[in-house]
Amino acid sequence: MLLLVRFKIFGHSMEPQIKTGETVLVSNIPYWFKMPKIRDIVAFKDSTGKVLIKRISKIQKGKYSVEGDNKKDSLDSRRLGLISKNQIIGEIIYKL
Amino acid sequence: MRIFKYLLNLLPEKIAYAHCDIPCGIYDPHQAQLAAHTVIRMTQLLTEIKRDNETKVEHDVARMTHVKEEHVNIIEEELETLRNDYFKEEHYKQYSGLNDLFVKALKSASKARQNIDIIAAQETLSGILEIAEIFYKTKGVVPVRVKSIYPTGGEIVVYK
Q: What percent of chain B has pLDDT over 70?
A: 96
Q: Counting one residue from A and one from B, how many pairs have CB atoms under 8 Å apart?
A: 87
**Residues 35..74 of A with a Cβ closer than 8 Å to B: which?**
43, 50-54, 68, 72-74
pLDDT at A79 over 60: no
Q: What is the mean pLDDT of residues B43-48?
A: 97
A89 in contact with chain B, both atoms CB, cutoff 8 A:
no
B84 in contact with chain A, both atoms CB, cutoff 8 A:
yes
Per CATH, domain B28-159 is 3.40.50.720 = no
Q: What is the pLDDT of residue A90?
A: 95
Q: What is the mean pLDDT of residues B5-11?
A: 79
All domains of chain A in start order, with CATH: 5-95 (2.10.109.10)
Which residues of A are less than 8 Å from B81 in CB distance? 10
Task: Give the mutation candidate from B10, B15, B19 for the A interface (greatest A CB count, under 10 A).
Answer: B19
Whether residue A16 has a cis bond before it, omega within 30° of 0: yes
Q: For residues B79 and B132, is the Cβ–Cβ distance under 8 A?
A: no
Confidence band of B20 (pLDDT split at 50, 70, 90): low
- E strands, chain B, are 13-17, 143-147, 155-159
Which residues of A are less than 8 Å from B73 in CB distance? 21
pLDDT in tens, B49-97: 998 899 999 999 999 999 999 999 999 988 988 887 788 888 999 999 9
Task: Report phi then psi at B97, rounded to 5.
Answer: -90, 5
Asked if B14's CB is within 8 angstroms of A51's CB, the reply is yes
Nearest CA in chain A to B4: A96
Reduced to 3 states (helix: H, G, I; strand: E, B; else coil), residue B151 is coil
pLDDT in tens, A37-68: 999 999 999 877 889 999 998 888 889 988 88
Write the ipTM. Answer: 0.85
pLDDT at B25 over 80: no
Q: How far apart are CA B84 and CA B93, in angstroms?
A: 15
Q: Which residues contact A45 (CB under 8 A, 6 or more apart)?
A: A51, A52, A87, A89
Confidence band of A73 (pLDDT split at 50, 70, 90): low
Domain locations in chain B as residue ranges: 28-159
- State the smallest CA–CA distance between residue A70 and chain B in angstroms: 9
Asked if A11's CB is within 8 angstroms of B19's CB, the reply is yes
Query: What radius of gyration do chain A's Cα atoms show?
Result: 12
pLDDT at A32 over 70: yes
Q: How far apart are CA B23 and CA A79, in angstroms?
A: 12
Average pLDDT, chain A: 85
Nearest CA in chain A to B71: A21
What's the distance, Cα to Cα, between the start and end of chain A in Å? Answer: 22
Asked if A24's CB is within 8 angstroms of B15's CB, the reply is no
B12 in contact with chain A, both atoms CB, cutoff 8 A:
yes
Which residues of B are less than 8 Å from A6 in CB distance? 8-9, 11-14
pLDDT at A76 over 50: no
